[in-house]
Amino acid sequence: MPELQPPHLRPRLDAMKSSRPGPTRTADPRPPDHFPARGNYPVYLLFGVCGGFLLLTSLLVLRGVWALVGGEAAWNAFVASLSHPLYIGYHALALLGVVWFSLRFFSIFPKTQPARIGPVKPPPAPVILAILNGGFAVANALLALILWGELL
């Protein structure tokens, strides 16, 4: 079997071992054949990594607020720093990542709702999807227009 990672990072693979040894020796479990690079696994890992874009963007907003607290000079320096080509390239990627992440999350969301929470039933899946995708478009459009200076 090809070496996957250094020993301390190798998968555990003893998840399905019995707590008591059986009567014969068994061969060690193998990880899923297509993990991590084939089938659906790369998309799944990419989804996980795109979560990192959310973390970084929140930290960006935090940086921005600290700059506002610091006064006009600090704010202008912050804005100027975002013009660096690497930053712009990163933000183009981040935008794609966060949008894809959000839309994928919405597509999974309906089936995460139990049939009933107490006496309350969730709305049917198409309604949930309309609310989520519609809300996404409206909320982001609104905020973007405000930040852009077209509103307020």
Write down the least CB distance from residue 51 to another protein, Å.
3
Residue 86 has which token pair? 């690497």
Calpha distance 149→48 (Å, rounded): 33
Using the minimum distance from each CB to another protein, give the nearer residue, 2 or 8.
8
Question: Residue 106: what residue type?
Answer: F
* Cβ neighbours of residue 49 closer than 8 Å, sequence gap 6 or more: none
Write down the least CB distance from residue 128 to another protein, Å.
12
Using the minimum distance from each CB to another protein, give the nearer residue, 126 or 149.
149
Write down the least CB distance from residue 45 to another protein, Å.
6
Query: Are 100 and 50 within 8 A, CB to CB?
Result: yes
Distances (CA, A) of 5 to 9, 15, 74: 6, 18, 44
Query: Are 101 and 54 within 8 A, CB to CB?
Result: yes
Write down the least CB distance from residue 124 to another protein, Å.
13
Q: Look-up: residue for tokens 């959000």?
A: 102
Using the minimum distance from each CB to another protein, give the nearer residue, 2 or 22.
22
